[in-house]
Structure 1
């Protein structure tokens, strides 16, 4: 605001600070000094506003004129008298505060829904999900932003039984899914870490609030496509490793239900998984217990293929050559090798599970568990052991089916004898949960039951939610034959 003189005198008298007689057209003070009187017009006018407020008024006037030119039905969408002062003055701050709160809620959801998964991997990777969610990102894609919001809102709605929040989260999910479709269709962004992160979050949302019991498995096929487009090297270090470990169990479960192979059983991915596990042995963040589970996963990821190969072998007519990629004898030998590796890992994991009550001061025990939280060792090791046991039981049954096939087709008895002698000890179950496989054509179809075998498999008090159990069991806990024996 500019100060304006109160006197009505001419400008010369004001500058000289003398009293002006206000004579018109020229004052006598100027006439006596032989000066031209500048007159009595003021050079400044008083305005009770700033230039910014003037511009705001002009914009408001323009908006009002534009609003009046629109149909009445559209006018309420352009103005909201309930906006807070923060939203009116600086709306971007409101969005940032909302996103920050939503991400913190997501972190709460993560720790509540995947405690063992996060405890087993969070300290062993360069960037875990909580670090990733809390880091400031200026150009995060809308698909990722709305994915975080949808899970956070769903978690709040479920926690407080707020149906309105749950409904809002579904709208957010749909919006994120639409943005994700655009990202996947764009060659520049379809291989991005943010694209895969958004896809994983939307898959997790489907697990929590699915349209149908197995709708989340349909999203897993999209995850497999994105990961294969990115290639193994994109998941070797950094957040890429976290992304792969976050969804690898989902990929195995999806392959079992679909009745096909999991791409992780391909030689290039098997070699990559082995290299990642080996590199952790040299890392300060390494955990011997976690490395054991990673090595077990390498064998488990091949189980969908062994199931598919065995089914294809047994379903062909007798006079038709099998359509499998491996000869029957080679198939059986490969499954025996995998079973033997899993049996060795199972023994080490069971030893770890028996030592979960070991005092923390034990140095050898600390080296074995590494950065894994001590409170979650029981749940982590128990789920991993259950996954390994299920894989061994499956391989036992498939090996028996292939062996019977070889006997029927009168394969060379010496080759059979040398192979069958390597099967080792019998399975881990008195009644094999996969025993229905191969009994008829429909028995090869698998289903997913999140509570399948829960009372039998979990002998300890640490029993986490079904999503955490499925992740920690490498995708096996919950997968079952469609027609299940009554004893189970």
Structure 2
């Protein structure tokens, strides 16, 4: 961390540290301090940007990231964190991938990439990290991670591959919603092409989840002193693991696969309905009911799946409101979102439905 170099960064560090401790200790004094330092940081950012010298610096990027995370905790106004997250996106896009290849800039990209996905899911917009430039950059990072020593090099590669697929999912969600809300003549062609892309990503994520589960299981066995030898039986790969970074990524990847299945179900349902409507418009069924040539009634699929939908995500919920002050999820909530590449608890719900609990709450 480059503490002591720029006032806007220093005050952002202070405001984020204070709000984190305020949630941890339930101390109102720390909460007031965090808000005061937040205001100081905003003022320093405006002053620095007006000069233009630091607008594209690593420190400015990190400051925007911390202000966004601060708002995720503090919730000073609705969607204030989205404003800062969009600023981080614009900064990264303006800086280009070259500014994030090494050093502090690279660390910033790694730390915030999951939040970019989560923000895009929350907004219902494509994530810029699925663009070719950023996918190529992620591939470069993956190749470098593969060369690192230690047993977790394999996990790093799986994690990078999973991220590259997960980053495509906000676009699938956005395009599906746009398609389902229109009656364009090209719907069938567009829907089939979109479903093919969704299914390709789903298959890759399924394979990556299998690899990741085996990787976590092997690490757990080594921690317990279990040595796997060729030809020996150790047991099946567990389905549930302790909550760690790798296991949260696994849960996030499995969760988004369910969301992708929901998208395909909705698109397929709309396609079936369109076929029925086309057959009806073409005159099928105009024969009298007592005619021996009259076709059997066509089954009409329920149209509930084609109703407008919105995305419900863990990030959109805000900090955990658990009544148990010892529940660590009240404090490490954002760590869990980031570790899952931003898709923990993501699900599709009808437009007017209010979910009673998150996916994560239902599974615990």
Report TM bin, short chain: 0.7 to 0.9
After superposition, where does 1:233-272 map in structure 2 within 5 Å? 233-272=98-137
Counterpart of 1:295 in structure 2 is 161
Counterpart of 1:468 in structure 2 is 335
Give the Cα separation in 2 of the matches to 1:192 and 1:173.
Answer: 20
After superposition, where does 1:211-230 map in structure 2 within 5 Å? 211-212=76-77, 214-230=79-95
Q: Against the structure 1 CA distance between its residues 288 and 314, is the aligned structure 2 distance closer, same or farther, given a 3 Å change threshold?
A: same
Q: CA deviation at 1:349?
A: 1.6
Gap regions ≥5 residues in structure 2: 230-240, 277-302
Structure 2 residue 171 is matched with structure 1 residue 308: no
Whether contact under 8 Å (2:269, 2:305) holds in the other structure is no
Q: CA deviation at 1:486?
A: 6.7
Measured against aligned partners, the alpha-carbon deviations of 1:358-402 in whole angstroms (never above 9, x if no partner) come to 23477999xxxxxxxxxx985122211111111111111222333
Counterpart of 2:280 in structure 1 is none
Give the Cα separation in 1 of the matches to 2:328 and 2:19.
Answer: 25
The TM-score normalised by the length of structure 2 is 0.74
Q: CA deviation at 1:451?
A: 8.1
Q: Against the structure 1 CA distance between its residues 249 and 165, is the aligned structure 2 distance closer, same or farther, given a 3 Å change threshold?
A: same
Give the Cα separation in 1 of the matches to 2:29 and 2:46.
Answer: 26
SS of 1:444's equivalent?
Answer: strand
Q: CA deviation at 1:406?
A: 3.8
Give the Cα separation in 2 of the matches to 1:275 and 1:394.
Answer: 28
Q: CA deviation at 1:271?
A: 1.4
Give the Cα separation in 1 of the matches to 2:312 and 2:102.
Answer: 34
Whether contact under 8 Å (1:256, 1:304) holds in the other structure is yes
Counterpart of 2:194 in structure 1 is 331
Q: Against the structure 1 CA distance between its residues 178 and 478, is the aligned structure 2 distance closer, same or farther, given a 3 Å change threshold?
A: farther
Q: Against the structure 1 CA distance between its residues 404 and 157, is the aligned structure 2 distance closer, same or farther, given a 3 Å change threshold?
A: closer
Q: CA deviation at 1:298?
A: 0.6
Indicate the structure (1 or 2) with the bigger Cα radius of gyration.
1
Q: CA deviation at 1:204?
A: 2.0
Q: CA deviation at 1:236?
A: 1.4
Q: Against the structure 1 CA distance between its residues 437 and 202, is the aligned structure 2 distance closer, same or farther, given a 3 Å change threshold?
A: farther
| Correspondence for 2:220 among 337, 349, 357 | 357
| Correspondence for 1:449 among 282, 302, 317 | 317
After superposition, where does 1:28-427 map in structure 2 within 5 Å? 132=1, 137=4, 140-212=5-77, 214-284=79-149, 287-317=153-183, 320-321=185-186, 327-360=190-223, 378-410=243-275
Kindly report the root-mean-square deviation, in angstroms, between the aligned alpha carbons of the 2 structures: 3.4
Whether contact under 8 Å (1:299, 1:338) holds in the other structure is yes
Give the Cα separation in 2 of the matches to 1:480 and 1:404.
Answer: 18
Measured against aligned partners, the alpha-carbon deviations of 1:243-271 in whole angstroms (never above 9, x if no partner) come to 01111111111111111111111111111
Give the Cα separation in 2 of the matches to 1:293 and 1:241.
Answer: 16
Whether contact under 8 Å (2:6, 2:59) holds in the other structure is yes
Q: How many residues align?
A: 308
Counterpart of 1:18 in structure 2 is none
Whether contact under 8 Å (1:437, 1:481) holds in the other structure is no
The TM-score normalised by the length of structure 1 is 0.56
Give the Cα separation in 2 of the matches to 1:280 and 1:364.
Answer: 25
Whether contact under 8 Å (2:176, 2:267) holds in the other structure is yes
Give the Cα separation in 1 of the matches to 2:31 and 2:202.
Answer: 44
Give the Cα separation in 2 of the matches to 1:302 and 1:185.
Answer: 35
Q: Against the structure 1 CA distance between its residues 161 and 405, is the aligned structure 2 distance closer, same or farther, given a 3 Å change threshold?
A: closer
Whether contact under 8 Å (2:259, 2:346) holds in the other structure is no
Measured against aligned partners, the alpha-carbon deviations of 1:283-309 in whole angstroms (never above 9, x if no partner) come to 337621122112101111110100111
Measured against aligned partners, the alpha-carbon deviations of 1:203-229 in whole angstroms (never above 9, x if no partner) come to 222222221464323321111111111
Q: Against the structure 1 CA distance between its residues 320 and 188, is the aligned structure 2 distance closer, same or farther, given a 3 Å change threshold?
A: farther
Q: Against the structure 1 CA distance between its residues 450 and 480, is the aligned structure 2 distance closer, same or farther, given a 3 Å change threshold?
A: farther
Give the Cα separation in 2 of the matches to 1:467 and 1:194.
Answer: 21
Whether contact under 8 Å (1:449, 1:478) holds in the other structure is no
Give the Cα separation in 2 of the matches to 1:160 and 1:485.
Answer: 29
Give the Cα separation in 2 of the matches to 1:167 and 1:377.
Answer: 35
Q: Which has the higher contact order (CA 8 A, sep 6+)?
A: 2
